[in-house]
Structure 1
Amino acid sequence: MTSPLDSYTASMDDLCFSDEAKTRMVEALKDAEKNARPGTAAEVLTMPARRPKRHTRRWARVAAGLALALVLGGGGTVAVAAGVLPNPADVLSDVFGGAPAQTELLNDVGRPVGATATSNGVTVTAEAVVGDRSNYAVAYSIEFDDPSVLEELEFHEGGKLTYVGDAFLRVDGAMSGGGFARLYDADPTDNTLQLVEVMGVQTWNDAGVVGRTARFTMSKLEIFTDEGEIETLVAGDWNFKFEMNYVDTTVDLPAGQSTTWQGSDVTIDAVSVSSLGVTVDYTIDRQIGDLGPSGQMSDEALAEQAAVLGLPVIVTFADGTTFDATDANGSAVKRDGGTSVVTKARTYDRIVAAGDIVSVTVGDVEIPVSAA
């Protein structure tokens, strides 16, 4: 099986690259994906030092970004809590401000068309989106009219920056979720930074995010310096919206198994995996009581929460490595009879090929992907 990144092989045929450049970019992406590991910098295709026209290089940076964002450090965590129904202001925006930008498919990858905004000499563009039913990764380019803004920056290994800024993407119908963002410079010879946001969200009735409207907003781009200070690279007003259109890579695994967690009976209701992450639903014979004020939970309250949400979830890959998804974005809904229905979603620390996922272990129950 292939991962979403392999789709770039065919997608390149529709773009303005030479045959040699297409081959080099595809091979570089495959190498980056194959060798990607947390905390290491993968190799990026290097281009000549001169500055050719921007459109001939954008997709090379975008493709590399989707491969590299999950292995570069220096990111910021992101949390979201949004209403189930669209914000009334969003509805009015769609009526009077026009429909969201359409997103065309290049094989498994969505490419928003015209999802861009310019403010104070900086242009932010949504370049690509990949994902599954409840996890997604969006790659943005941030182009500076004045390249001198980037010349004084001190980059970390792999061209990354410690991102702090408030760039935020909200998907209509997302109830809650969390993830991270990576800001880095894939090509120091140009005037563009790359931002990749990876999120796992929960939607009403598990309807998923494909086909929904995504709304991007940013008022400033900030980084955290080595001196421990927050530096604002640029402030402005960037807003645009686009369709979440991509090929859903979700694979649903067999469910219905029983296990226990901290003395409580558990029924595994649903398990799904994809190239980006894992989602697990289960019912547990326990409920969470009053946890106290947010951010001020006692040790007892934390233990009570873990007794419901802390069911271990481990993903095993073909190379023998594992990913611990126990500490996932989770929610618990109380049901009659003292039970709770729990949903946990977590993105991996890299993009993988669906065929490289061997199994998911929930509690003490191992579920092989081959059984799907």
Structure 2
Amino acid sequence: MTSPLDSYTRSMDGLRFSDEAKARMVEVLREAKKNAQPKAPAEVLTMPARRPRHRWARVAAGLALALVLGGGGTVAVAAGVLPNPADVLSDVFGGAPAQTELLNEVGRPIGASATSNGVTVTAEAVAGDRSNYTVVYSVAFDDPSVLEDIEPGEDGTLPLVADATCYVDGASGGGGGSWFYDADPGDGTIQYAETMGFTTWNGASIIGRTMRFSMSEIRVYDAEGEYVTLVTGNWDLKFEMNYVDTTVDLPAGQHTTWQGADVTVDAVAVSSVGVTVDYTIDRQIGDLGPSGQMSDEAEAKMEAVTGLPVTVTFADGTTFDATNANTHAQEQGDGTSAVTKTVTYDRIVAAGDIVSVTVGDVEIPVSAA
């Protein structure tokens, strides 16, 4: 079976790195995720039961059509995908997102690059599944001396952090991690890898949607143990999330319990980069009290709905705890909650190297798919 790592290696042949650098990029991408920046805390969105969106769909479609007819540009609205009007306006007046071509299973954005203050940031490759992805950006310095004395740690990552944000059109929440590494020391270019998991309002795939990435600062961890500014600028990119979906859907419908409440497993999907679990629990979070710092009681209420344990087991015997994933909880009219957990692993694997996913006390083998 061809793994995404094999495809990523072949895809690197079309880029400007040396063979040795390409090999290091793949290896660092495999290993460095284990020590990436701490992932964003799980995001929980508690909303009333879904209501028909027919009116909003007509408004969005009408707005897109008006922009096409009146603005001289072209706007594509995919079936089931409702773009943010501000995003549509951005594409019309600021230019459409860069297209992304497929090289094997990996997407390579074409022309997704921005230069500011002598630094050029370019989206090089993207891989993932319906809800999770990993993107690699190159960060090229006109003055390579800026990178002198910045040494990688034992895991290959650099002591750098970025002030960066990303958004995928149609996403309702998400989180992940990022890290810097140097695929070819001395060439004046470093790499920034970002791995994220997203949920969407209608549960649709993020593949084919537009990624909007922005970076404004890179900081370095100095000898005094503090982060200081290395460079500032305005690097704004947008490109299509176009890559081969490596998702494998597992059998669902199993029943378990969590803290005394009945749970039904609605869907489980694994891929080379992450896992997504949907379940319905016979409980609701309810009132969490005033906004601000969450009380112990409020945290316990959330845990009772969103804390269902999820574990992924790999062929080498190791496991990944996906319990503290990016989580979306939606209250239903019958007193239950529909919960979605989605998260990227701390590694990239071949789909055939995933043995099972355990949800609560129910183990679901991948071989059953």
Same fold (TM over 0.5): yes
User: Could you tell me which residue of structure 1 aligns to residue 342 of structure 2?
Assistant: 345
Code of the aligned partner of 2:255 = S
Q: Deviations over 1:282-318 (max 9, x none)?
A: 0000000222345511222111111100111111111
Indicate conservation of the 8 Å contact 1:212/1:243, yes or no.
yes
User: Could you tell me which residue of structure 2 aligns to residue 174 of structure 1?
Assistant: 171
CA 305–9 in structure 1, closer or farther in 2 if over 3 Å, else same = closer
Indicate conservation of the 8 Å contact 2:312/2:321, yes or no.
yes
Residues in 1 aligned to 2:170 and 2:127: alpha-carbon distance in whole angstroms: 18
User: Could you tell me which residue of structure 1 aligns to residue 7 of structure 2?
Assistant: 7
Relative to the length of structure 1, the TM-score reads 0.83
RMSD of Structure 2 on Structure 1 (CA): 2.3
Indicate conservation of the 8 Å contact 1:2/1:354, yes or no.
no
1:124-273 maps to which residues of 2 (within 5 A)?
A: 124-273=121-270
Q: Measure how far apart 1:12 and its partner are.
A: 5.8
User: Could you tell me which residue of structure 2 aligns to residue 30 of structure 1?
Assistant: none
SS of the counterpart of 2:294? coil
Indicate conservation of the 8 Å contact 1:135/1:199, yes or no.
yes
SS of the counterpart of 1:166? strand
Q: Measure how far apart 1:368 and its partner are.
A: 0.5
Q: Deviations over 1:157-187 (max 9, x none)?
A: 2442344321222111111001000112233
Indicate conservation of the 8 Å contact 1:76/1:164, yes or no.
no
User: Could you tell me which residue of structure 1 aligns to residue 94 of structure 2?
Assistant: 97
Indicate conservation of the 8 Å contact 1:66/1:137, yes or no.
no
Residues in 1 aligned to 2:183 and 2:2: alpha-carbon distance in whole angstroms: 24
Indicate conservation of the 8 Å contact 2:113/2:237, yes or no.
yes
User: Could you tell me which residue of structure 2 aligns to residue 320 of structure 1?
Assistant: 317
Residues in 1 aligned to 2:237 and 2:40: alpha-carbon distance in whole angstroms: 19
Code of the aligned partner of 1:77 = K
Code of the aligned partner of 2:124 = E
Indicate conservation of the 8 Å contact 2:83/2:169, yes or no.
yes
Code of the aligned partner of 1:360 = V
SS of the counterpart of 1:338? coil
Whether 2:29 is the aligned partner of 1:66: answer: yes
Code of the aligned partner of 2:30 = A
SS of the counterpart of 1:301? helix
Residues in 1 aligned to 2:361 and 2:89: alpha-carbon distance in whole angstroms: 49
Residues in 1 aligned to 2:15 and 2:232: alpha-carbon distance in whole angstroms: 33
CA 134–233 in structure 1, closer or farther in 2 if over 3 Å, else same = same
Which of the residues 348, 358, 363 maps onto 2:360? 363
SS of the counterpart of 1:306? helix
Q: Point out the more displaced range, 163-172 or 220-229.
A: 220-229
Code of the aligned partner of 2:254 = Q
SS of the counterpart of 2:257? strand
Residues in 1 aligned to 2:16 and 2:361: alpha-carbon distance in whole angstroms: 51
CA 317–207 in structure 1, closer or farther in 2 if over 3 Å, else same = same
Which of the residues 28, 51, 75 maps onto 2:37? 75
- Larger RCO (CA under 8 A, 6+ residues apart): 2
Q: Deviations over 1:188-237 (max 9, x none)?
A: 22211110000000012211110001111111112343523221111111
Residues in 2 aligned to 1:371 and 1:85: alpha-carbon distance in whole angstroms: 34
Q: Measure how far apart 1:14 and its partner are.
A: 5.4
The count of aligned residue pairs is 333
Q: Alignment identity in percent?
A: 70
SS of the counterpart of 2:278? strand
Indicate conservation of the 8 Å contact 2:161/2:180, yes or no.
no
Indicate conservation of the 8 Å contact 1:65/1:196, yes or no.
no
Q: Point out the more displaced range, 155-164 or 141-150.
A: 155-164
Q: Measure how far apart 1:9 and its partner are.
A: 5.4
CA 209–226 in structure 1, closer or farther in 2 if over 3 Å, else same = farther
Uncovered stretches (5+) of structure 1, i.e. residues with no partner: 26-44, 46-56
Residues in 2 aligned to 1:126 and 1:13: alpha-carbon distance in whole angstroms: 16
Code of the aligned partner of 1:7 = S
Residues in 1 aligned to 2:358 and 2:284: alpha-carbon distance in whole angstroms: 23
User: Could you tell me which residue of structure 2 aligns to residue 39 of structure 1?
Assistant: none
Uncovered stretches (5+) of structure 2, i.e. residues with no partner: 46-80
Q: Deviations over 1:94-138 (max 9, x none)?
A: 112221111000010000010000000000000000000000000
Q: Deviations over 1:311-336 (max 9, x none)?
A: 11111111111111111111110011
